[in-house]
Chains A and B, each alone.
Chain A
Amino acid sequence: MKNLRKIINGRAAVIGIPYLWLLALFFFPFLIVLKISFAEPIIAIPPYTSLLEWGDSFWPTIKASLDSYLFLLDDSLYINAYLSSLKIATISTLIALVIGYAIAYSIAKAPTRWRGILLMLVILPFWTSFLIRVYAWIGILKTEGLLNLLLISLGVIDKPLTIMNTDLAVYIGIVYSYLPFMILPLYANLEKMDFSLLEAAADLGCRPFKAFWTVTIPLSLPGILAGCFLVFIPAVGEFVIPDLLGGTQTLMIGKVLWMEFFSNRDWPVASAVAIILLAILVVPIMYYQKSQEKAIS
């Protein structure tokens, strides 16, 4: 009894419960997906072969196949989808960085009594479902949508622009949806910045614009990295935005994954797609962790 007490003390419980949660709801599902990726598709329920086969011997034989992974290499569709996802995520992240930095900087520089309200405005969209907000963009961007109506009534354009169902709509959707994830870490960083450093730079003969590049940007690097990772990582695997706003030519790995699972019912290939996506994202996720640890120390 006493020994048990020693093992299950408060500290272990506090740390242990989240770990158990992660183990049960992330690690085990991951193992299941990993297992399926090594199976072969069959028409059955579930639609894949089992990994272990119980023959006459006491020990089961392992029947693992790398076919799904080889198939991904074979068909250029998958490689192109990965590359296209990375490209769209990178460009979206950079656009979000430029816009997010400007917003975070102006909030950090705003009078204290305004900051709370401005931050609130950044977080406010989260009160509505993500899906509804993406649908709202359809209403704005479509041919007879609000944006085209506005531009035509202002006389800027004669014919409506085709934005809906293009890559541009995907960029708009991703930048819009993930902008708060860029602004919040940047603001947290810039808000702590000692603006007397900029005065010191000016005092030493540095022009305001140069002071921004040599003092503000380097000092906000942890915020920039955190914001970029928080936007980039989910944007790579994004499915809803390209599906709803993008066109047929918009190639993103999230869409491919969905098709493999639900249209083709090829679970092993879909699982392999997911595993490779994870492998690609592990690198930036680890960099993100490292930069966070650095920021804390």
Chain B
Amino acid sequence: MTEISTLEPWKDSAQRPYIEIKNVTKKFGDFSAIDNLSLNIYKNEFFSLLGPSGCGKTTLLRILAGFEKPTEGSILLDGEDISQVPPHLRPINMMFQSYALFPHMSVEKNIAFGLKQDKLPANEIKDRVDEMLELVQLTELAKRKPNQLSGGQSQRVALARSLAKRPKLLLLDEPLGALDKRLREQTQFELMNIQEKLGVTFVIVTHDQEEAMTVSSRIGLMDAGHLTQVATPTEIYEAPVNRDVADFIGDVNFLEGTFKGNDNIGTQLDSDDAKCIVYATQATDVDIGRKLWFAIRPEKLEISKKKPDFENNVLKGRIEDISYVGCMSTYHVKLDNGKVLKACRANRERSAEHHLTWEDEVYLHWLPHSAIVLQS
């Protein structure tokens, strides 16, 4: 039982958060970049702040680093209020989006920079730099200048430099944004390994939802200076709090309708889109007649030419578009009333015996527990 609580400390009220962001507001003139935001982050977490550009995620990161002072509210690190501590005195380091490597210093001098500020003895600095170079596998490039490095190498130097001082908290601002897709995926796992190895708490800002899903222990989804949902990647994907969240993370279909009540299956929804009653396992506690939405992920919609052997949740339509991406195909199915639903299917066979093509009449079906009931 204790093991579970350390893996998911946010579920255990006895655990003390490592970083406490308390009612923080940041105003630039009249504009509130952060609006009364509170958030707890626990030790050894890999926490992602995810959101569209302009949602305030970078501002929040800069407040944690100390480059911006909160207009209101406070920040506690390990129980200590650091709101008024200038950046150079905070035990927090940041990896910049632009990497911000000092162009006039070699790789090793860049990594040693922070240690020199602490006036560590020279041999200790050297040991730590060597250790960091090894960690990011750049030992051979120690003498190079930043302009002689590739994007991926610069990214590693920036990471090594920000980790060299063994900060209590590492902030990463779009750390993989400048890398190409393949390198980014590979680096995501390296980041996770390094984080696990050093046991440093990471807070990462990203607009890439796949990246956030891959690396995070928890994701804080931001919009217009607010946190809309803070949860693990699985919870965010499988149990989003509203349509915006469901739509931001992954692909989703919405069925709109009015609440008919709960029966032995679960929620009954009289859907205009489906033109019938549809079901979700999850029971709902609102007034009958209220507007509700079912969110169904495309991979949870079964598509077939043959009418499935189910009584409920079967819709008929016509294939309008197909997007084939190799590993899977997404079918855009138009229902009789014009509503288009997306269903995807893994291409598990090379041949196309069960081939579905344009204009085919197909049936869509989902299991009641696959639908998410949303009230807003």
**Contacts from A to B (Cβ < 8 Å):** 194, 196-197, 199-208, 210, 215, 218-219
Q: How many Å lie between the Cα of A205 and that of B92 in the bound state? A: 9
Chain B, range 89-107, C-beta contacts under 8 Å to A = 89, 92-94, 96, 98, 100-104
> Which residue in B93, B96, B117, B161 is a CB contact (below 8 Å) of A206?
B117
| Whole-angstrom distance between the Cβ of B55 and the nearest chain A Cβ | 21
Q: How many Å lie between the Cα of A206 and that of B66 in the bound state? A: 13
B249 at the binding interface (Cβ < 8 Å)? no
Per-residue interface assignment for chain B, residues 64 to 105, with 1 indicating a CB less than 8 Å from any chain A CB and 0 otherwise: 011100000000000000000011110011101010111110
Q: Which residues from A are CB-within-8-Å of B98? A: 194, 196
A204–B65 CB distance below 8 A: no
B151 at the binding interface (Cβ < 8 Å)? no
Instruction: Knowing A194-B98, A196-B96, A199-B87 are in contact, say whether A204-B113 is a contact too (CB < 8 A).
Output: yes
Q: How many Å lie between the Cα of A210 and that of B100 in the bound state? A: 17
B165–A205 CB distance below 8 A: yes
B102–A215 CB distance below 8 A: yes
A196–B113 CB distance below 8 A: no
Q: How many Å lie between the Cα of A204 and that of B119 in the bound state? A: 12
> Which residue in B65, B88, B102, B104 is a CB contact (below 8 Å) of A205?
B88
Q: Which residues from B are CB-within-8-Å of A199? A: 65, 67, 87, 96, 100
Instruction: Knowing A199-B67, A199-B87 are in contact, say whether A205-B118 is a contact too (CB < 8 A).
Output: yes
Q: How many Å lie between the Cα of A98 and that of B118 in the bound state? A: 30
Q: How many Å lie between the Cα of A200 and that of B162 in the bound state? A: 9
| Whole-angstrom distance between the Cβ of A224 and the nearest chain B Cβ | 13
| CB nearest neighbor in B for A196 | B100
Instruction: Knowing A196-B98, A196-B100 are in contact, say whether A201-B86 is a contact too (CB < 8 A).
Output: no
B114 at the binding interface (Cβ < 8 Å)? yes
Q: Which residues from A are CB-within-8-Å of B86? A: 202
Chain B, range 178-222, C-beta contacts under 8 Å to A = none
Instruction: Knowing A199-B67, A199-B87 are in contact, say whether A205-B117 is a contact too (CB < 8 A).
Output: yes
Q: How many Å lie between the Cα of A208 and that of B86 in the bound state? A: 10
Q: Which residues from B are CB-within-8-Å of A205? A: 88-89, 114, 117-118, 165
| CB nearest neighbor in B for A211 | B88
| Whole-angstrom distance between the Cβ of A198 and the nearest chain B Cβ | 9
B96–A204 CB distance below 8 A: no
Q: Which residues from A are CB-within-8-Å of B104? A: 218-219
Given contact pairs A194-B98, A204-B88, a sample of 17 additional A-B residue pairs in the complex whose CB atoms are under 8 Å apart: A196-B100, A199-B67, A200-B94, A200-B102, A201-B102, A202-B86, A202-B87, A203-B66, A203-B87, A203-B88, A203-B93, A204-B114, A204-B161, A204-B162, A206-B113, A208-B88, A210-B117
Q: Which residues from B are CB-within-8-Å of A201? A: 102, 113
| Whole-angstrom distance between the Cβ of A204 and the nearest chain B Cβ | 3
| CB nearest neighbor in B for A204 | B114
A219–B103 CB distance below 8 A: yes
Chain B, range 219-258, C-beta contacts under 8 Å to A = none
> Which residue in B66, B88, B101, B113 is a CB contact (below 8 Å) of A207?
B88
Q: Which residues from A are CB-within-8-Å of B89? A: 205
Q: How many Å lie between the Cα of A207 and that of B118 in the bound state? A: 11
| CB nearest neighbor in A for B90 | A203
Q: Among the interface residues A200, A207, A210, which one has the most CB atoms of the partner chain B within 10 A?
A: A200
Instruction: Knowing A215-B102, A219-B103, A219-B104 are in contact, say whether A204-B165 is a contact too (CB < 8 A).
Output: yes
| CB nearest neighbor in B for A219 | B104
B165–A197 CB distance below 8 A: no
Q: How many Å lie between the Cα of A64 and that of B292 in the bound state? A: 107
Instruction: Knowing A203-B94, A204-B113, A205-B165 are in contact, say whether A194-B88 is a contact too (CB < 8 A).
Output: no
Q: Which residues from A are CB-within-8-Å of B96? A: 196, 199-200
Instruction: List 21 contacting pairs A-B, 8 Å CB cutoff, sorted by A.
Output: A194-B98, A194-B100, A196-B96, A196-B98, A196-B100, A197-B100, A199-B65, A199-B96, A200-B100, A200-B101, A201-B102, A201-B113, A202-B67, A204-B113, A204-B161, A204-B162, A205-B88, A205-B89, A206-B88, A207-B88, A210-B117
Q: Which residues from B are CB-within-8-Å of A204? A: 88, 93, 113-114, 117, 161-162, 165
| CB nearest neighbor in B for A207 | B88
| Whole-angstrom distance between the Cβ of A192 and the nearest chain B Cβ | 11
| Those 9 A-B pairs whose CB atoms lie nearest each other, nearest first | A204-B114, A205-B117, A200-B100, A202-B87, A196-B100, A202-B88, A218-B104, A203-B94, A206-B117
| Whole-angstrom distance between the Cβ of B220 and the nearest chain A Cβ | 22
Q: How many Å lie between the Cα of A27 and that of B227 in the bound state? A: 73
Q: How many Å lie between the Cα of A203 and that of B102 in the bound state? A: 13
| Whole-angstrom distance between the Cβ of B100 and the nearest chain A Cβ | 4
| Whole-angstrom distance between the Cβ of B89 and the nearest chain A Cβ | 8
| CB nearest neighbor in A for B100 | A200
A203–B65 CB distance below 8 A: yes
Q: Which residues from B are CB-within-8-Å of A207? A: 88
| CB nearest neighbor in A for B86 | A202
Q: Among the interface residues B65, B101, B117, which one has the most CB atoms of the partner chain A within 10 A?
A: B117
Q: Which residues from A are CB-within-8-Å of B94? A: 200, 203
Q: Which residues from B are CB-within-8-Å of A196? A: 96, 98, 100
| Whole-angstrom distance between the Cβ of B75 and the nearest chain A Cβ | 16
